[in-house]
Amino acid sequence: MSSHKLSMLLAAVIGCSQISVAVAAGDADRLGKELTPLGGEKKGNADGSIPAWEGLESAPNGWVAGKYRGDYAKTKDEKALFSIDASNVDKYASKLTPGQIALIKQSKGYRMDVYPTHRNCGVPAWVEERTKENATEAKMAPDGFSLEHARAGGVPFPIPKSGVEAMWNHKLRSTGVGFDYKQGVAALSPSRGTNDFVFSTFEITQYYPHGTKEAKNVEDAGKVEFYTYYKYKSPVSLAGQALVSTSYLDRPAEVSYYFPGQRRVRRLPTYAYDAPLLGFENEYMVDIQNMFWSQLDRFDYKLAGKKEIYIAHNAFKMYDFNAKLEDVFKRDFINPDVTRYELHRVWVVEATVKQGQRHTTPKRTYYLDEDSWNLVAAEDYDANGNIWNVRQTFQIPVWELGGTCTYGPWMQYSLQSGRYVADNQVIGQGSDVKFLTSPDGGRFKANFYTPDTLRATSER
pLDDT tens for the chain, residues 1 to 460: 444 443 434 444 444 444 455 787 788 999 999 999 999 999 999 999 999 999 989 999 999 999 999 999 999 999 999 999 999 999 999 999 999 999 999 999 999 999 999 999 999 999 999 999 999 999 999 999 999 999 999 999 999 999 999 999 999 999 999 999 999 999 999 998 899 999 999 999 999 999 999 999 999 999 999 999 999 999 999 999 999 999 999 999 999 999 998 889 999 988 999 999 988 999 999 999 999 999 999 999 999 999 999 999 999 999 999 999 999 999 999 999 999 999 999 999 999 999 999 999 999 999 999 999 999 999 999 999 999 999 999 999 999 999 999 999 999 999 999 999 999 999 999 999 999 999 987 899 999 999 999 988 765 4
pTM above 0.85, yes or no: yes
Would you tell me which CATH number, out of the four given (3.30.930.10, 1.10.3720.10, 3.50.50.60, 2.50.20.10), belongs to the domain 20-457? 2.50.20.10
Burial 254-285 (b: 16+ CB within 10 A, else e): bbbbbeeeeeebeebeebbbbeebebbeebbb
Tell me the C-alpha to C-alpha distance, in Å, between residue 41 and each of 33, 263, 406: 9, 54, 19
Q: How many CA atoms lie within 13 A of 435 on its CB side?
A: 23
Please, are residues 235 and 199 in contact by the beta-carbon 8 Å criterion? yes
Burial class (CB in 10 A: 0-12, 13-18, 19+), 6: exposed
DSSP code for 329:
B
Q: Which of 327, 111, 282 is nearest to 191 (CA)?
A: 282
Q: Which of 163, 138, 144 is nearest to 218 (CA)?
A: 138
* E strands present in 294-437: 299-312, 341-353, 363-369, 375-381, 387-393, 396-398, 404-406, 410-414, 420-425, 434-436
Calpha distance 151→217 (Å, rounded)? 4
Ranges of each domain in the chain: 20-457
Beta partners for 392? 377, 411
Please, are residues 142 and 19 in contact by the beta-carbon 8 Å criterion? yes
Please, are residues 165 and 171 in contact by the beta-carbon 8 Å criterion? no
What single letter denotes the amino acid at residue 312? A
Calpha distance 152→149 (Å, rounded)? 9
Residue ranges in 18-107 assigned as alpha helix (H): 25-28, 98-106
